[in-house]
Amino acid sequence: MGQGTDEAGAIGYAGRPPGAGNRRGQCNTGESGAMTSDFFDLSGKVAVVTGSTKGIGKAIARALAEHGAKVVVSSRKPDLVAEVAGEFQADGLEAIGIPANISHREQIEQLLSETRKAYGKIDILVCNAAVNPYYGSALDIPESAFDKTLDVNIKSNLWLCQQVIPEMRERKDGAIMIVSSIGGLRGNPVIGAYCISKAADMQLARNLAIEFGPDNIRVNCIAPGLVKTDFARALYENPEVAAKRTAGTPLRRLGDPEDIAGIAVYLASKAGSWTTGQTLCIDGGVTAAGEG
């Protein structure tokens, strides 16, 4: 499952000036020294990753940077944003931090505006931030919790896409990923609103992929299974739940955030240039086995 957003933080960006980082994750070369493949090279690309100070978002942001992208780290807490951006920079990666609470449209606009001031463009958008404020029966969910879930997990993703697609259309190139969940593919008795929102994200990706495919904009969903993040801590730290989920997973383990990062690199790169409108389940085989 994706990771959560919190309350609003100050807007701005912290970190090394653009162009000061060193790219890692360059393409492999053979014994002759010739480049063997540039399928996963993201040199010159600029990526914005929401909810990227921990968990899945952080793993995706790091992987994109390691493959050459200039990465904007973002979440609602300025101190964490600066810390993670600084961590990436210390590892020789190109990154800045721009705090934003995506539940506020004006902060989304500021996030993207500050990105363009720093790097000039946005090539890759990863909508990872999400919330799940309620656990329990659908009969008891407060209207405020239902509204918050749909607003942050669906509406904010649409807002983000509305802000970046126009420039992608001008360049005839762009990659957008929405981090959904396998919960969007099945019913659930206790996190129903969250699952509704994640199913809607899958449809949002399909709609945008169809509309903007002619402009060479690829839009896809990544649907993780149970990944060991703070967002899912209540599940995987319960021994019974963890044991049941592990036994029902063909690969016989729960996911780590890094398990989700590779598919994001694929979708952002030349390797994924003919992939759009898809929901890719990265779940250790859970959905294939009919478990979960």
Give the pLDDT confidence score for residue 229 in this predicted structure.
Answer: 86
Give the residue from 94, 108, 105 showing the smallest Cα distance to 61. 94
Residue 90 CB burial class (10 angstroms; 0-12, 13-18, ≥19): exposed
pLDDT more than 70, % of the chain? 86
pLDDT at 16 over 60: no
What's the mean pLDDT when you consider all of the chain?
89
Q: How many CB atoms neighbour CB 205 within 10 A? A: 26
- pTM of this prediction? 0.88
In the chain the domains, ranked by start, together with CATH numbers, are: 46-289 (3.40.50.720)
Give the pLDDT confidence score for residue 12 in this predicted structure.
Answer: 38
Please give the positions annotated as active site. Answer: 194
Give the pLDDT confidence score for residue 31 in this predicted structure.
Answer: 45
Spatial separation of the C-alpha atoms in residues 16 and 23, rounded to whole Å: 14
Read off the pLDDT of residues 57-100 as tens digits, 9 standing for 90 and up.
999 999 999 999 999 999 999 999 999 999 999 999 999 999 99
pLDDT at 18 over 50: no
pLDDT band at 24 (very low <50, low <70, confident <90, very high): very low
Give the pLDDT confidence score for residue 240 in this predicted structure.
Answer: 86
DSSP 270: G
